[in-house]
Amino acid sequence: MQKQQREAKAAAALVHANIVQIHEVGQIDRIYFIAQEFVEGQNLRTWINRNEKPDLPHVLSIMVQVTAALVKAGGRGVVHRDSKPQNGSLGPDGSVFLVDFGLVKLWDPNDPVTRTVMRGMGTPEYAPPEQYGATKDHTGPPSDVYSLGAT
């Protein structure tokens, strides 16, 4: 569990305009939790479902913001591993936040073994093949790029 706590704390240390701030990581009895800031708005899945024909500049703004969040995380060795529309929150002012760091892993190119903070494999529609053992590769920052593309 020490590695899992270290991974969650690394995610909590990420400070970026498009990453939800994690306030606390802990355990009560056998239940692990991540307490994060409340972001007013709607998740991107809801927004997509409500907008049959979203305008291209707005879609590009959203993608640029999510990309910036993933670049920041990957640059710090943190792989989100569950990037999908439901884990993006769109604020009323158009700002986008990457949320839900429950599957985060620390990435070390010299030791790329996958470990998760919580059990789970992500969402099949958005997860890269290596996350399910479909290839011999391990998850890393490129895995989040795959998920962003699927989004």
Q: Which of 29, 82, 111, 144 is catalytic?
A: 82
Nearest C-alpha neighbor of 150 from the set 63, 60, 47: 63
- CA separation for the pair 126, 147 (Å, rounded): 5
Q: How many CA atoms lie within 13 A of 113 on its CB side?
A: 3
Q: How far is CA 4 from the centre of its chain?
A: 16
Token digits for 48?
Answer: 């997509």
Half-sphere exposure of 90 (CA within 13 A, CB side): 18
**Dihedrals phi, psi of 30, to nearest 5 degrees:** -110, 15
Rounded CA gap, 100 and 50, in Å?
Answer: 22
Note if 82 is an active site residue. Answer: yes
Provide the annotated active-site residues.
82
